[in-house]
């Protein structure tokens, strides 16, 4: 795939997947892909080698997760980086309201630019800060859904994400092939943080063999107090 400013739409099996997942929003997804492979690469938000696999590894991997989200909900994307998965979900699903939380200023600058150039300002807000900061939690907390991709090991991630959820809300942690092993390893930490046992869900990508693997954890409705049985 050409990664220049006039990059072509995805070809081969990626074209089928992109068309099925994004539908009439595909032109918007292509514009975002161009931003990632030009401005994003220049500013070190994605590696130069990632431009060649921007669709299969990044955009389609994130877009498939939208199938887990109900209509007209709000989600908070933690450690959004270049907008993965938050911006991709907002592109695929115009019914969503998305808050992007990112601590690094240069990434925030890119996100603000992307939201503006893609015309997503009514659906997407960008917040500069960390999930555990009071100003951030005050602005985005008590939501039904939190997403995170390649941010931190699950044991740490739940400590940042679960407090932002309303009781019964869900964390969608996008992970790779080791998702099940990570959930098994960090299960105790998840429960101590107030989460349910969790499960690994595979979101299929049309025409591609590799699904998106998502660890789904709910914030328990009532957290046990220490010493309770």
Q: CA 226, CA 162: separation in Å to the nearest integer?
A: 18
> Could you count the other beta carbons within 10 Å of the beta carbon of residue 187?
16
Q: Which of 80, 53, 211, 225 shows the shortest CA–CA distance to 150?
A: 80
Q: How far is CA 8 from the centre of its chain?
A: 25
Residues 6+ apart with CB under 8 A from 53: none
85 preceded by a cis bond (ω within 30 of 0): yes
Annotated binding-site residue numbers: 79, 84, 131-132, 149
Torsion sign over Cα 45, 82, 26, 179: positive
Annotated binding-site residue numbers for S-adenosyl-L-methionine: 79, 84, 131-132, 149
Q: Tokens representing 227?
A: 């010493």
Q: CA 97, CA 151: separation in Å to the nearest integer?
A: 21
Dihedral, CA atoms, 32, 47, 106, 120, nearest 10 degrees? 10
**Per-residue DSSP letter, 51:** G
Report residue 146: phi and psi, to 5°.
-130, 135
Q: At what angle do helices 105-117 and 26-35 cross, to 10 degrees?
A: 150
């Amino acid at each position: 795939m050409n990664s220049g400013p006039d990059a072509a739409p995805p070809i081969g099996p990626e074209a089928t997947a992109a068309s099925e997942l994004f539908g009439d929003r595909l032109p918007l997804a292509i514009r975002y892909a161009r931003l990632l492979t030009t401005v994003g690469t220049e500013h070190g938000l994605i590696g130069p080698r990632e431009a060649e696999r921007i669709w299969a590894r990044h955009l389609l991997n994130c877009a498939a997760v939208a199938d887990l989200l109900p209509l007209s909900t709000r989600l908070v994307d933690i450690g959004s980086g270049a907008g993965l998965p938050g911006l991709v979900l907002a592109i695929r699903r115009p019914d969503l309201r998305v808050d992007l939380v990112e601590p690094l200023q240069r990434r925030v600058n890119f996100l603000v630019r992307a939201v503006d150039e893609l015309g997503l300002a009514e659906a997407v807000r960008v917040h500069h800060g960390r999930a555990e900061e009071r100003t951030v939690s005050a602005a985005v907390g008590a939501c039904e859904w939190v997403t995170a991709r390649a941010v931190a090991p699950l044991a740490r991630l739940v400590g940042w994400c679960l407090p932002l959820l309303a009781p019964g809300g869900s964390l969608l942690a996008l992970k790779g092939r080791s998702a099940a092993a990570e959930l098994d390893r960090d299960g105790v930490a998840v429960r101590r943080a107030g989460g349910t046992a969790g499960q690994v869900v595979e979101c299929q990508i049309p025409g591609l063999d590799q699904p998106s693997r998502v660890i789904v954890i709910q914030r328990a409705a009532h957290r046990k107090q220490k010493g309770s049985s």
